[in-house]
Amino acid sequence: SQTIHQWPATLVQPVGSPLSLECTVEGTSNPNLYWYRQAAGRGLQLLFYSVGIGQISSEVPQNLSASRPQDRQFILSSKKLLLSDSGFYLCAWKLSDLTDTQYFGPGTRLTVL
């Protein structure tokens, strides 16, 4: 069966510090991968998605970036965090473009102070 992992589970970082959040998927190959941010009162906002290694599409211009160095690894990064980057970051995967069902990871709660 497939599983999705995210770490860390929680993170408190000062403004201006760098960020690296990691997401890995097990039990499948060549999944579509997604990064969402969920802020209070704003719902889930799609940040990035990837259909393959090295292929990243950005949905929202901001100071975040994403990378996919391996088939089942998706990383969200920032060089300098802003207060507005606080939120709950969710990684999700789906089998392919032929399905609409996404499976979400447990999330990372990021607080920028």
Closest to another protein by CB, 49 or 74: 49
User: With CB under 8 A as the contact rule, which of the stretches 14-22, 62-70, 75-83, 98-106 interacts with another protein?
Assistant: 98-106
**In the complex, minimum distance from the CB of residue 60 to another protein, in angstroms, rounded to a whole number:** 12
Q: Which residues of 73-98 are buried (b: 16+ CB within 10 A; e: fewer)?
A: ebbbebeebeeebbbebbbbbbbeee
Integer Cα distance of 38 and 81 in angstroms: 16
**Interacting residue with another protein among 41, 54, 61, 69 (CB under 8 A):** 41
Site for another protein in 50-89 (CB under 8 A): none
Provide the token pair at 95. 């089998």
Q: What strands, in cross-sheet order, belong to the sheet with 73-78?
A: 3-7, 19-26, 73-78, 64-70
Q: Is 109 in the site for another protein (CB under 8 A)?
A: yes
**In the complex, minimum distance from the CB of residue 85 to another protein, in angstroms, rounded to a whole number:** 19
Residues that bind another protein (CB under 8 A): 41-44, 46, 49, 90, 92, 100-107, 109
